[in-house]
Amino acid sequence: MKALQCVELGGPDKLQINEIEAPEVIPGHVVVDVKSGSINFPDVLMIQGLYQFQPPMPFTPGGESAGIVSEVGEGVSKFKVGDKVFAMTGVGAFAEKILAAEASCMAIPDSMDFDSAAALSMTYGTSLYALKQRANLQPGETLLVLGASGGVGLATIELGKAMGAKVIAAASTQDKIDMCMAHGADEGFIYPSGDLDRDQQKELSNKIKELTGGLGANVVYDPVGDSYSEPCLRATAWEGRYLVIGFAAGQIPKIPLNITLLKGCQIVGVFWGAWVGQFPDENKKNFDELFSLHAAGKINPEVSQKYSLADSADAFTHLANRKAKGKVIINM
Ligand SMILES: NC(=O)c1ccc[n+]([C@@H]2O[C@H](COP(=O)([O-])OP(=O)(O)OC[C@H]3O[C@@H](n4cnc5c(N)ncnc54)[C@H](OP(=O)(O)O)[C@@H]3O)[C@@H](O)[C@H]2O)c1
């Protein structure tokens, strides 16, 4: 079968399309004929050796995929050949077939096509866990979303609205803000791209305070990090929750702890994958909620760009260059 392979750590130019052995089914697993895989920022980090989990070399990148079960291993009870599933495997998605543990798969509801299913799991899974279990977001609260037109960003806007929050979207260009508004954001503003200096950081804090009537945001969702984090923490409300999602801008910021004292606020870590491993039943309940929201038209994964497997390295370049909006899909 054909698969994208990382044979040497580095940028997307190091990725290769290779002919490799198709996986053989083993007990407790299914083989899925992959139709769609979706790319996430962690995939870009993993091919460079910069992610917290690193598979042995060579490996096929891609954390999530959707397709049709073609083989069923001994002991599998939830799936049969021909079932439509999505698989959250962490790696291996950008290939014609994938071997997936039964526990890593879920049935695709009738309301969803393969692209939407592949686009939904990591972004909406992360964001619902972040807003519900970690931030305890309440109706009427203000939610600030950084990198708001990206994969997890757009998912957070839609979920924040579905949970009754007032959502403020922050992103680096007007067309990104336009997309956020189309997905339900109440307010949107452009922040500068690049390393923010002191004045730009102050401006960012002031802008958030202005949009929240001087009170600050109750919940901040931050997948960007770097020089964006401190000014946003300074613009949280009293007893606010600051969600640490990721560091797409590069550096992991160091934060003066006195800010949390002055605001009575919390800095809350979010690691969805680790939580899923420890609490699979809670995650299943979250996904039942996501499927209901999708069927009701309240969430709608935005697939902005599609690549073929042959061109899949270009999808990595697109994401890494801050060009992606919503989700980027690779079709096998
Ligand atoms: N904690 C978890 O469980 C979890 C789960 C999934 C993802 N994540 C993390 O969430 C972050 C976003 O992931 P994603 O898949 O949504 O990525 P994405 O679609 O590429 O979105 C990232 C956003 O970050 C902003 N950004 C700022 N500086 C950037 C830079 N130098 N390069 C690229 N983007 C930059 C961009 O928006 P602007 O141009 O508008 O600034 C972009 O839209 C990543 O750090 C990822 O590791 C965490």
For residue 19, the cross-strand partners are 2
With tokens 């290769």, the residue in question is 16
Confidence category of residue 111, pLDDT binned at 50, 70, 90? confident
User: How many angstroms separate the CA atoms of 310 and 308, rounded?
Assistant: 5
CB-ligand 1 contact for 147 (6 Å cutoff): yes
Centroid of ligand 1 to alpha carbon of 52 (angstroms): 15
Q: What is the mean pLDDT of residues 111-115?
A: 93
Distances (CA, A) of 281 to 91, 269, 270: 22, 21, 18
Compute the average pLDDT of residues 96-112. Answer: 95
Distance between CA 221 and CA 200 in Å, rounded?
19
- Domains, the chain: 2-108+302-331 (3.90.180.10), 123-273 (3.40.50.720)
Average pLDDT value for residue range 16-38:
97
Beta carbons within 8 Å of 38's beta carbon, 6+ residues apart: 64, 65, 93, 115, 118, 119, 122, 151, 327, 328, 329, 330
The single-letter code of the amino acid at 152 is V
Tens-digit pLDDT profile for residues 279-296: 999 999 999 999 999 999
Ligand 1 mutation pick, 152, 178, 272, max ligand atoms within 8 A of CB: 152
For position 282, what pLDDT does the model report? 97
If you measure from the C-alpha of residue 247 to the centroid of ligand 1, how many angstroms do you get, rounded to a whole number? Answer: 7
Tens of pLDDT along 285-324?
Answer: 999 999 999 999 999 999 999 999 999 999 999 999 999 9
Query: Is residue 184 pLDDT above 90, yes or no?
Result: yes
Q: What atom of ligand 1 comes closest to residue 45's alpha carbon?
A: 47
| Mean confidence (pLDDT) of the chain | 96
Q: Is 232 in the pocket of ligand 1 (CB under 6 A)?
A: no
Q: What is the pLDDT of residue 194?
A: 87
Q: Whose CA is nearest to atom 27 of ligand 1?
A: 249
Predicted local confidence at residue 306, as pLDDT: 97
Q: What is the pLDDT of residue 52?
A: 84
Mutate which of 40, 52, 178, 228 for ligand 1? The one with the most ligand atoms within 8 Å of its CB, which is: 40
- Ligand 1 neighbourhood includes 324 CB (under 6 angstroms): yes
Report the atom number in ligand 1 closest to the C-alpha of 275.
Answer: 3
Pairing of strands 64-72, 84-88: antiparallel
For range 145-170, the mean pLDDT: 98
For atom 21 of ligand 1, the residue with the nearest CA is 150
